[in-house]
Chain A
Amino acid sequence: MDVMTSIPGVAAANAPAPQPRELHAHPGRGDRYFNRGASLSGLTVLSVMAAVGIFLGIQAWQALKATGFSFLTTAEWQPDTNKFGIAEVMLGTVLIALVAGIVAFPIAMSAALFITEVAPKWLRSSLVALVDLMAAVPSVVYGLWGLFLLQGQVVGVSRWINTWFGWIPFFAVDGADPNNPLAAATVYTASTLVAGIVVAMMVMPIQCVVMREVFSQVPIGEREGAFALGSTRWGMIRVVSIPFGRGGIIGGTMLGLGRALGETIAVLLIISPVFQINFHVLQQGSNSVSSLIALRYSESSDFSLSALMAAGLVLFGATLVVNFTASWFVARSRSGASSEA
């Protein structure tokens, strides 16, 4: 190329290609302090949080060493005679969480779909606020409601289920006589079912928030495509929204279960604690790890406290597993890239 005018850069064309300029940031004193301070706060939070887990582990060691594997299989709780284990309390915890999940899941899913698809636009933001409010109501309030209002209503349903489906082992009730209409209703009170329904009230909004988030991200093109092909609204939900949000549905459900496992006060108010394996969800008597801790923490001996720590550690592990699985499901779903949780 015959260049007459001299262009400054071209003159050096034969020279080796210029290296990219190295960028150095010289943080001033203020920025060094800022970075150190910020890192310090991060480390503080990290150490506080880690301390809780590690401390639980260390304290629980004494009790776990004493019982070994039988800690997981023993139903009784008598640390003083060295006979204790979490088989019963863990079973109760899981059963309550399962009942809560079974009650809450359809309602949470329907409410999420209702808010995103069915409700008129002007109603949506208030419905969202209402769901958030449900999540903010303190658990002791739900506990009072469950104990004094809900329990009396559920007893009738429990009796009916027991009368007709009592042959299913889960619905059996020891000491209930379906042929005696005047039998006292007390065998049906303070049951896993009542506790589970109350916990469901707390779990539902958590699940609903995650699901709504996911459903609101359904690509508009796919929705319109379904409508253009002649789909009804439910048809669109079935073939577009639900498959799109599957990760969020599973993840949200599990997040709620994680919360249900750790619920204390509402469960403590409602159940009457027993220490024998009780599969019967309609029958009086249940237990959970957290209510066990709330009832027994003031016992003076170090060893029984260590036993409670061990139970707490197992509960903590279970919630961690459930929550991380939930986050994993939400994050790897198609919609999860930008959603929280």
Chain B
Amino acid sequence: MTAAISQRAANVQQHATTVIPRRSSAASVAPPRRAIGGTSRQDAMALAGAAVSSLCTTMLLFGRLTPLSGRLGFVIVWFLIFLGIYAALLSLTEDRPAVVDRVMAALLTSASVLAGGALASVIIFVLWRGRTALVHSNFFTQDLSVTGPSEPLNVGGITHAIAGTLIMTAISLVLTVPLGVACAVYLNETSSRATGLVRTVVTAMTALPSILAGLFIFATWVLILGFPRSGLAASIAMSIMMLPIIIRSADVVLRLVPGNLREASAALGAPQWRTVWQIVLPTARSGLTTAVILGVARGVGETAPVLLTAGFTNTMNMNPTTSPMVSLPLTAFKLVSAAEPNLIARGFATAAVLMLLVLILFTAARVLGGRPVGRLTKRQARAATAQSARDRLRIDAMSSSANRVPQEMS
């Protein structure tokens, strides 16, 4: 554009008397676009320089100049010195607001890295300490009934805890899923006046400390009603923890179902229960699944309620109603509370198995819940199309029979 203008100016100059000063060729080139994002080379250099020089200073402080020691202390001192040097380097070229901006960005970033690093260190540490027990296949095929505390790791395993966790989770699911989803439907689909109260109480119950759920079941189910401490009692305690979580997540999901779907269903003459059963719940299916999985992920990891209600055993027990039954977190807790190194290694391995289980559940919840409410997968879309085609045939058949007796239509 600028080049064309200067060309025209040159043409004009030949005929007119006014003299336009010839532009230098440099000025006619469009100025380079100003970078508005990203990091410049100078920034990167300042960052790297500050990191290196602060590392050197800290090593000097810890190794030569002062009697400081400790890994955690080293990192803290390094970070503080880094911030100071980084700010000083930036202030050579930038004004104060820019320096503050960069330093704060560095702070926010490093706090996030700290959080992520802590999570990574938790996962890696537990896997690392559990590795000696995890590599033996008998860890997944035997229980601890005949294994003494100091026996080597190629004897004994945690099948009893895995089975216990699965049984307790299954019972809790049977108890919580119908009740939780029905309660969420009650909160969203009925016009009862008590919904506000129920919602408040459910919100309050998400705050219930898990140990109190265990204490409640211990005092009622075990002491007053006289049932033994068992997998069933632990499942009920777990259910009390899971129920509010499931209800609240399901409540949020049902609220996201578009109201015009309900209205369309009602306008077509469907009674309310059919609207809920065939429109609202299927629309929210993936979100409801996520709600349930999140509840399970929370329930599986609960130790305190199980500690009070399940009793403790080292043998395989498939019967949840009579004798003690353990879960993965409880086993991990009990094993590391012992002082035997082999038992501690088993405890870490149990915790690692538990962590992987939660990780799998969590990934499943993300995959299923990544889909917005009402958006169908390809398979669901094909099924829905086929169903509409069948409906079309049915309606066609009905209307062709109705055409023969048109009086009935009016």
Contact = CB atoms under 8 A, between A and B. Distances in A.
Contacts of B303: 138-140, 264-265
B330 to A, nearest CB: 8
A133 to B, nearest CB: 6
B190 A38 contact: yes
Contact of B210 (A33, A234, A264, A322): A264
Contacts of B98: 232
Interface stretch (A10-18, A75-83, A110-118): A110-118
A192 B351 CA distance: 24
A89 B114 CA distance: 31
A315 B304 contact: no
A294 B185 contact: no
A167 B94 CA distance: 41
Interface stretch (B3-11, B81-89, B156-164, B197-205): B197-205
A140 B354 contact: yes
Given A50-B201, A235-B97, A110 B107 contact: yes
Contact of B182 (A41, A106, A118, A133): A41
Contacts of A323: 203-204, 206-207
Interface in A14-61: 27-28, 30-31, 33-35, 37-39, 41-46, 48-52, 55-56, 59
B147 interface: no
Nearest to B330: A140
Contact of B125 (A37, A149, A315): A149
B179 A45 contact: yes
Interface residues of A, number: 93
A49 B241 CA distance: 10
B272 A31 contact: yes
Interface stretch (A124-132, A216-224, A244-252): A124-132
A113 B252 CA distance: 25
A52 B115 contact: no
Contacts of A73: none
B243 interface: yes
B122 A137 contact: yes
A240 interface: no
Interface string B68-83: 1111110010000000
Interface stretch (A169-177, A271-279, A305-313): A305-313
B215 A144 contact: no
Interface stretch (B20-28, B293-301, B372-380, B394-402): B293-301
B219 A305 contact: yes
Best-buried of B115, B204, B248, B252 by chain A (most CB within 10 Å): B115
A312 B223 contact: no
B14 to A, nearest CB: 45
B291 interface: no
Interface in B288-325: 294, 297-298, 300-304, 307-308
A137 B361 CA distance: 11
A234 B71 contact: no
Nearest to A138: B301
B111 A106 contact: yes
A233 B178 CA distance: 48
B387 interface: no
Which secondary structure characterizes the binding site on chain B? helix
Interface stretch (A1-9, A62-70, A152-160): A152-160
A142 interface: yes
A26 B313 CA distance: 57
Interface string B178-203: 11101101110110101101100111
B359 A290 contact: no
A49 B202 CA distance: 7
A224 to B, nearest CB: 13
8 contacts: A41-B178, A107-B111, A134-B115, A140-B329, A181-B67, A262-B211, A294-B304, A309-B215
Interface of A: 27-28, 30-31, 33-35, 37-39, 41-46, 48-52, 55-56, 59, 106-107, 110-111, 113-115, 117-119, 127, 129-134, 136-145, 147-149, 153-154, 156-157, 160, 181, 201, 204, 208, 232-235, 237, 258-259, 261-265, 269, 290, 293-294, 297, 305, 308-309, 312, 315-316, 319-320, 322-324, 327, 340
Given A44-B183, A45-B202, A149-B125, 9 more contacts: A35-B272, A52-B205, A52-B240, A114-B111, A138-B303, A232-B100, A264-B210, A319-B208, A319-B209
Interface of B: 67-73, 76, 97-98, 100-101, 104-105, 107-109, 111-112, 114-116, 118-119, 121-123, 125-126, 129, 178-180, 182-183, 185-187, 189-190, 192, 194-195, 197-198, 201-216, 218-220, 223, 240, 243-244, 247-248, 252, 271-274, 276, 294, 297-298, 300-304, 307-308, 329, 332-333, 336-337, 347-348, 351, 354-355, 358-359, 361-362, 366
